[in-house]
């Protein structure tokens, strides 16, 4: 059957290398392609490595069955999709070959020249190198247009980030399609220009080098340094623990020495790392549950070292010009499980961040002070956006990209979106806009619940609701048509954003396209949901959806008028075409935001365990608001949202969600 994406037909993928990361790459492919009957092959010259790889993959799949992540039939299909072999002739017929062998240019060259002999011109060649430039890896390949580095991060089946690194001869159109492919299969790709170590490893390995230098200078023990790096930078694990987990001493030792030649002299493998690599020893890190105490004096020194060094390393990558602030901020946070560097600088304060880097560079004299940080200080901080803008056929495509939180909204993101809408509205070369979300799971998963939980008074609730509404009103009042392309589910504020657009189109077949789940958490929608939904689908249909908090499928959404159409083909292509039809008048605009002076009254409805107090407030918002002009109705919603703040049930609902997750029913008191 195979899988097709933007002209890329995938029936067979071969992964070469059964060591540390190759099996995990193959495991991810098996998770996303098992339904498509894509054949997967792992090739390694070592039969022992192949046996270990099969055992490793099998164990992870079995664990997925135990946790409920995989159903038995899926697990069986995943296992059956993979062939393990030492015979390179089995690469024949592959559409993609991913090399994940030893970080040695001679070995990679031999592998790809061998693969070239068994595959046709259409087979794509990817290398999972963590450092080497594609021009070096593929130097002897005849058709370099189909080659690139696709650098995964540990653990590759779960870590979503992939650095896509084209060489000078790589086909630009192919790069765009591969970026889109990775997004479609659940990864978070960023494009990085060819540079040794790419964008993220110099930061990771630089932090490892810094940790070892702190050890050699006597600033702390391995355990103390690990803890302070982890606490200061909000890392999942400290640098020494990360080296142990990934078996990273040899590759970091080699990478740092290479970066000394290709980048700046500060990069180097410290003597202690060289010794640990030669001896094959691990770092003496804290055991699980072990408490590590760090004196205030040491903590201050180590905090300044890690903040100064981390900020300097991130800025250095920007100075190289191989990526941008938005991509690096997002990808570093996700791939390394660490605080986003530029966001952290802004939170720390640009003046303090500047001074920390200045003092750090004065100690680390081989590290030049970053020019980009000078500019950021002059600008009053880093400008960071979660909105990615592209232009297609005179349509501005605005993608909300917050993959870590499934594109959840906060006031910051809405301000960024408003800015991009205003820029596009003023652009004479733009006729219409499309707003969509990153990935395939969610358009927008809702509003930031931490923000809502921080609201303590009705006035704060009113202000929050009123501010959200203001941003969405600006989108709704745009003079150019805006199509919302629902790439996945739209919950809460996501659906409210979608309803503020001119029209909505959804990927065909979505089991859940929209939901206003606020009643499950003990409050009502506050960004227009109680007013826009009744005007789109009718007051009684909307009331049932809002009062029960139940999800709506794509099919139902189309039938009741919540969405205008379902996309039969590529969602963005259909959305752009739809936007152009609206702009040209080929498709008339639907005006559904006017009140009809309805005298509808609330109906009896079984709301189960949900709060009767919140239901009473919800009914007032829906039925009283439906009689009013939209602007007055939104004002009413904001006041009633503020009223929810005083209820016990809003506190109970939010606390239950934080402790037990979205599926647990809150024990509402109806007060």
Domains of the chain and CATH, by start: 3-189 (3.40.50.720), 201-378 (1.10.1040.50), 387-660 (3.90.226.10)
pLDDT in the model for residue 1: 75
Q: Are 323 and 192 in contact (CB under 8 A)?
A: yes
What 3-state DSSP class applies to 507?
Answer: strand
> 344: which 2 tokens?
């952290």
| CA distance linking residue 101 with residue 20, whole number of Å | 9
| Alpha helices (runs of H) in 321-457, residue ranges in sequence order | 325-336, 341-348, 350-363, 371-378, 411-426, 449-453
Residue in the structure block whose two tokens are 């993609």: 96
| Alpha helices (runs of H) in 20-46, residue ranges in sequence order | 22-33
CB-based contacts of 213, cutoff 8 Å, min separation 6: 270
The helix-helix angle for 296-320 and 371-378 (nearest 10°) equals 100
pLDDT in the model for residue 453: 83
| CA distance linking residue 611 with residue 668, whole number of Å | 6
The helix-helix angle for 529-537 and 493-500 (nearest 10°) equals 50
> 16: which 2 tokens?
């070469």
Q: Are 145 and 138 in contact (CB under 8 A)?
A: no
| CA distance linking residue 169 with residue 148, whole number of Å | 9
What 3-state DSSP class applies to 95?
Answer: coil
- The CA–CA distances, whole Å, from 354 to 94, 361, 372, 492 equal 50, 11, 11, 39
| CA distance linking residue 578 with residue 565, whole number of Å | 10
| CA distance linking residue 428 with residue 628, whole number of Å | 36
What 3-state DSSP class applies to 64?
Answer: helix
Q: Are 132 and 159 in contact (CB under 8 A)?
A: no
Q: What is the DSSP letter of 286?
A: P
pLDDT in the model for residue 452: 82
What 3-state DSSP class applies to 139?
Answer: coil
CB-based contacts of 539, cutoff 8 Å, min separation 6: 598, 600, 622, 623, 626
Residue 428: how many other CB atoms lie within 10 Å? 6
Residue 662: how many other CB atoms lie within 10 Å? 11
The helix-helix angle for 296-320 and 201-216 (nearest 10°) equals 150
| CA distance linking residue 217 with residue 219, whole number of Å | 6
What 3-state DSSP class applies to 43?
Answer: strand
| CA distance linking residue 573 with residue 473, whole number of Å | 26
pLDDT in the model for residue 448: 78
> 224: which 2 tokens?
């103390």
> 310: which 2 tokens?
């981390």
| CA distance linking residue 642 with residue 463, whole number of Å | 8
Q: What is the DSSP letter of 234?
A: T
Catalytic site residues? 496, 518
Q: What does the radius of gyration of the chain's CA atoms come to, in whole angstroms?
A: 27
| Alpha helices (runs of H) in 93-221, residue ranges in sequence order | 105-118, 134-137, 172-184, 201-216
- Laid out side by side, the sheet with 489-491 consists of 442-444, 489-491, 514-515
Residue in the structure block whose two tokens are 């602007």: 631
* Nearest in space to 141 (alpha carbons), one of 196, 88, 99: 99
CB-based contacts of 660, cutoff 8 Å, min separation 6: none
| CA distance linking residue 33 with residue 184, whole number of Å | 11
- The CA–CA distances, whole Å, from 439 to 108, 413, 486 equal 32, 17, 11
- Mean pLDDT, each 10-residue run in order, the chain (671 residues): 90 96 97 96 97 97 95 97 97 98 95 96 96 97 97 96 98 96 97 98 98 98 97 96 92 96 97 96 94 96 98 98 98 98 98 98 98 97 97 97 95 95 97 97 89 89 95 95 97 97 95 96 96 95 96 96 94 96 90 62 89 96 94 96 95 91 91 92
| CA distance linking residue 570 with residue 509, whole number of Å | 13
The pairing of beta strand 188-191 with beta strand 161-166: parallel
| CA distance linking residue 613 with residue 649, whole number of Å | 8
Q: Are 187 and 158 in contact (CB under 8 A)?
A: no
**Long-range own/partner contacts, residues 508-513 (CB < 8 A, 24 or more apart):** 508/554, 508/566, 508/567, 508/568, 509/554, 509/566, 510/486, 510/553, 510/554, 511/553, 511/554, 512/551, 512/552, 512/553, 513/486, 513/489, 513/552, 513/553, 513/554, 513/557, 513/562, 513/563
Residue 604: how many other CB atoms lie within 10 Å? 5
* Nearest in space to 502 (alpha carbons), one of 403, 419, 581: 581
Q: Are 575 and 564 in contact (CB under 8 A)?
A: no
| CA distance linking residue 579 with residue 570, whole number of Å | 14
């Amino acid at each position: 059957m195979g899988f097709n994406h933007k002209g890329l037909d995938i029936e067979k993928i071969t992964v070469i290398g059964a060591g540390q990361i190759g099996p995990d790459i193959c495991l991810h492919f098996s998770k996303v392609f098992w339904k498509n009957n894509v054949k997967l092959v792992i090739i390694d010259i070592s039969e022992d490595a192949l046996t270990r790889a099969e055992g490793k993959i099998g164990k992870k799949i079995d664990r997925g069955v135990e946790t409920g992540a995989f159903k038995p039939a899926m697990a069986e299909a995943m296992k059956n999709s993979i062939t393990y072999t030492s015979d390179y002739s089995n690469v024949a017929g592959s559409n993609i070959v991913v090399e994940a062998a030893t970080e040695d240019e001679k070995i990679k060259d031999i592998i790809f020249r061998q693969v070239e002999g068994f595959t046709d011109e259409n087979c794509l060649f990817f290398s999972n190198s963590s450092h080497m430039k594609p021009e070096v890896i593929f130097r002897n390949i005849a058709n370099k247009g189909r080659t690139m580095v696709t650098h995964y991060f540990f653990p590759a089946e779960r870590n979503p980030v992939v650095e896509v690194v084209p060489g000078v001869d790589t086909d630009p159109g192919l790069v765009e399609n591969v970026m889109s492919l990775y997004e479609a299969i659940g990864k978070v790709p960023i494009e990085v220009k060819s540079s040794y170590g790419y964008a993220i490893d110099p930061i990771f390995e630089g932090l490892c080098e810094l940790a070892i230098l702190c050890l050699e200078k006597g600033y702390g023990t391995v355990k103390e340094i690990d803890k302070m790096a982890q606490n200061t930078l909000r890392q999942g694990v400290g640098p020494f623990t990360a080296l142990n987990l990934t078996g990273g001493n040899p590759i970091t030792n080699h990478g740092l020495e290479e970066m000394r030649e290709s980048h700046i002299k500060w990069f180097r493998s410290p003597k202690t790392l060289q010794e640990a690599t030669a001896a094959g020893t691990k770092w003496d890190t804290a055991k699980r549950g072990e408490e590590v105490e760090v004196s205030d004096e040491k903590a201050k020194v180590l905090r300044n070292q890690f903040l100064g060094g981390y900020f300097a390393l991130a800025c250095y990558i920007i100075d190289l010009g191989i990526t941008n602030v938005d991509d690096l901020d997002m990808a570093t946070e996700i791939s390394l499980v660490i605080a986003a560097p530029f966001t952290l600088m802004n939170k720390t304060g640009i003046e303090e961040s500047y001074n920390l880097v200045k003092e750090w560079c004065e100690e680390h004299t081989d590290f030049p002070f970053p020019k980009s940080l000078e500019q950021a200080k002059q600008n009053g901080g880093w400008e960071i956006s979660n909105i990615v803008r592209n232009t297609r056929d005179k349509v501005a495509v605005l993608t909300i990209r917050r993959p870590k939180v499934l594109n959840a909204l906060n006031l910051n993101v809405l301000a960024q979106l408003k800015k991009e809408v205003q820029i596009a509205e003023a652009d004479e070369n733009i006729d219409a806009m499309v707003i969509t979300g990153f990935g395939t799971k969610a358009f927008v998963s809702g509003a930031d619940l931490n923000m809502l939980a921080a609201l303590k008074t009705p006035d704060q609730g009113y202000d929050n609701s009123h501010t959200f509404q203001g941003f969405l009103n600006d989108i709704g009042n745009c003079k150019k048509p805006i199509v919302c392309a629902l790439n996945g589910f739209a919950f809460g504020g996501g659906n409210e954003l979608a309803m503020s657009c001119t029209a909505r189109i959804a990927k065909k077949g979505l089991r859940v396209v929209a939901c206003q789940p606020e009643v499950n958490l003990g409050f009502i929608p506050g960004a227009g949901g109680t007013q826009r939904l009744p005007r789109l689908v009718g007051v009684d249909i909307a009331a049932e959806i809002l009062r029960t908090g139940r999800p709506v499928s794509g099919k139902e959404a189309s039938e009741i008028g919540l969405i205008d159409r379902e996309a039969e083909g590529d969602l963005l292509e259909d959305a752009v075409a739809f936007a152009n039809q609206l702009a040209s008048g080929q498709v008339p605009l639907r005006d559904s935001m006017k009140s009809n002076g309805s005298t509808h009254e609330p109906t009896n409805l079984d709301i189960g365990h949900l709060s009767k107090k919140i239901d009473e407030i919800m009914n007032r918002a829906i039925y009283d608001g439906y009689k009013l002009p939209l602007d007055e109705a939104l004002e009413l919603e904001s006041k009633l949202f503020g009223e929810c703040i005083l209820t016990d049930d809003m506190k109970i609902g939010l606390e239950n969600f934080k402790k037990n997750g979205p599926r647990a029913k809150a024990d509402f008191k109806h007060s």
